[in-house]
Structure 1
Amino acid sequence: MHDDLTTSQQDLLARVLQHGGVLSAPFGHVGEDSQLPGMLKDIDRLEAQGLLRVLREARGAPERLELTEAGYASLGMT
């Protein structure tokens, strides 16, 4: 894995991988202890780094995550 990725970013990439390289919303659970706000930041960062392709709904919220070739490589899968 890339050394410059945070643990939560690595976990998110691994979670997408566990779902066959594609993960559909919802990405976190709702409520007081929701992980969604932090996950949205990770999604944006991973997309900016080219590790994820993000399909967004009309309002801009992520709807589907796909690993890119670089995303697979960051997980050591080339």
Structure 2
Amino acid sequence: MSEPLNEQQQELLARVLQHGGVLAAPFGHVGEDSLLEEVLEEIDALEAMGLLTVDRVRGSDEPERIELTETGYDALGMA
């Protein structure tokens, strides 16, 4: 991994790890979280880095399930 993770990205990876490496329906209902847009951007960035895989709600960009990849575990020092 070439670029360091920011604090929000580290927290998001740790949150997924706390749920056994898979986080389903991680955000409740859209509109409830004022930080939702920022979180979605972080998920996209982590997916682009290969640290997460993302299953999206059919017909939407909203994540339904996110899962740590082997690289994501490595980034958390869980190799």
TM tier, shorter chain?
Answer: 0.7 to 0.9
What is the aligned length?
A: 75
Give the corresponding residue for 1:6.
Answer: 6
Give the fraction of aligned pairs with identical amino acids, expressed as a percent: 60
User: In the alignment, does 2:37 pair up with 1:37?
Assistant: yes
Give the corresponding residue for 2:63.
Answer: 62
Q: CA deviation at 1:28?
A: 6.3
Give the corresponding residue for 2:24.
Answer: 24
Gaps of 5+ in 1: none
The CA deviation string for residues 24-43 of structure 1, in whole angstroms up to 9 with x for no partner, is 12326715xx2211100000
RMSD of the TM alignment (CA)? 1.9
- Runs (4 or more) in structure 1 with deviation over 2 Å come to 26-29
- Relative to the length of structure 2, the TM-score reads 0.86
